[in-house]
């Protein structure tokens, strides 16, 4: 009798747990916004990188009557919509495969600084910008997936408008101009708010003229990953959505392509 009672109890717990998991996920009627740029010949990479290469394979009907197609691709870790793992700028930091999945899923916050960036192409998002978001939305950025909307996703894939230059190669780095996150704001997000991750719709979490990449350093020493080249955030509200940012799980990787979405209405 006692054993049967335990079995029934476990069965009920299992059913309830399953229901909770289902309710926690996207449901019909919720809007899903794709925050990922497609990978193709026009995908923007750092000027010193070669870019995305797709080698077309066989495509057609086989002698057995079914259709078959398969390609090959090659890509640097950092380019297109991708994640920067902490190891990218922090010795001993987490590699892509070591980032806890829980860190890549969570409530989102969209901090819109597009007006400031329209005036200053090298704008740096400040602590004050972040605190203003908290005040305006009566909410904290703590434990959030913080997305910084500069408006630069609207320039994709025009390199000159997006990067500040159409040049490639090492010399092009001296001509980069695009917004980023101020190093002190990066430190504040990582320590005062302990965010899950930060995303930005530019080529780097540091702005174009940066040479020390201190925002990378300040985030990654605390194992806070960054997602760069996020696609347009124009459809996102300031709050009330969930972000899912799942990268290719590259063992030992410093970064990798990332499929990122926002689920609105949560």
Q: What is the pLDDT of residue 15?
A: 39
Q: Which of 38, 234, 264 is CA-nearest to residue 150?
A: 234
Chain centre to alpha carbon of residue 200:
7
Q: How many domains does the chain have?
A: 1
Instruction: Give whole-number Cα distances, 34 to 78, 114, 165, in Å.
Output: 19, 19, 27
- What kind and span of H or E run contains 84? strand 82-84
Q: Is the pLDDT of residue 3 over 70?
A: no
If you search the block for the tokens 């063992």, which residue do you land on?
251
Residue 244 falls inside a structural domain: yes
Residue 19 falls inside a structural domain: no
Residue 163 falls inside a structural domain: yes
Q: Is the pLDDT of residue 203 over 70?
A: yes
Q: What is the per-residue pLDDT across 211-241, written as a single tens digit (0 to 9) for each?
A: 999 999 999 999 999 999 999 999 999 999 9
Residue 104 falls inside a structural domain: yes
Q: What is the per-residue pLDDT across 139-182, written as a single tens digit (0 to 9) for each?
A: 999 999 999 999 999 999 999 999 999 999 999 999 999 999 99
Query: Domain span at residue 120?
Result: 32-51+77-264
Residues 159 and 121: beta-carbon distance below 8 Å:
no
Instruction: Give the C-alpha separation, 109 to 163, whole Å.
Output: 25
Q: Is the pLDDT of residue 183 over 50?
A: yes
Residue 129 falls inside a structural domain: yes
15: helix, coil or strand? helix
- The CATH number of the domain where 172 resides is what? 3.50.30.50
Residue 105 falls inside a structural domain: yes
7: helix, coil or strand? helix
For the chain, the average pLDDT equals: 92
Q: What is the per-residue pLDDT across 84-133, written as a single tens digit (0 to 9) for each?
A: 999 999 999 999 999 999 999 999 999 999 999 999 999 999 999 999 99
With vertex at residue 203, the alpha carbon angle to CA 178 and CA 183, rounded to the nearest 5 degrees, is: 70
Q: What is the pLDDT of residue 6?
A: 42
Residue 16 falls inside a structural domain: no
Instruction: Give the C-alpha separation, 60 to 197, whole Å.
Output: 42
1-5, 48-52, 151-155, range with the lowest pLDDT: 1-5
Residue 157 falls inside a structural domain: yes
């Amino acid at each position: 009798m006692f054993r049967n009672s335990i079995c029934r109890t476990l069965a009920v717990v299992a059913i309830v747990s399953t229901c909770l998991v289902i309710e926690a996920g996207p449901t019909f009627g919720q809007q899903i916004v794709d925050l990922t740029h497609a990978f193709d010949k026009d995908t923007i990479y750092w000027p010193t990188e070669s870019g995305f290469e797709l080698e077309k394979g066989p495509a057609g009907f086989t002698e057995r009557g079914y259709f078959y197609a398969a390609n090959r691709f090659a890509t640097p870790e950092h380019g297109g919509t991708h994640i920067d793992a902490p190891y990218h700028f922090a010795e001993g930091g987490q590699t892509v495969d070591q980032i806890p999945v829980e860190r890549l899923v969570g409530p989102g916050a969209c901090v819109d600084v597009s007006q400031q960036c329209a005036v200053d192409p090298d704008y740096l998002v400040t602590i004050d910008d972040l605190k203003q978001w908290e005040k305006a939305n009566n909410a904290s950025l703590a434990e959030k997936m913080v997305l910084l909307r500069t408006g630069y996703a609207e320039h994709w894939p025009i390199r000159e408008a997006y990067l500040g230059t159409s040049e490639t190669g090492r010399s092009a780095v001296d001509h980069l101009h695009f917004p980023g996150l101020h190093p002190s704001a990066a430190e504040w997000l990582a320590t005062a708010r302990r965010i899950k991750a930060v995303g930005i719709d530019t080529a780097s979490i540091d702005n174009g003229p940066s040479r020390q990449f201190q925002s990378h350093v300040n985030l990654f020493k605390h194992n806070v990953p960054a997602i760069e080249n996020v696609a347009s955030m124009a459809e996102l509200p300031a709050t009330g959505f969930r972000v899912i940012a799942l990268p290719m799980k590259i063992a030992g990787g410093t970064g990798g392509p990332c499929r990122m979405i926002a689920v609105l209405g949560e």
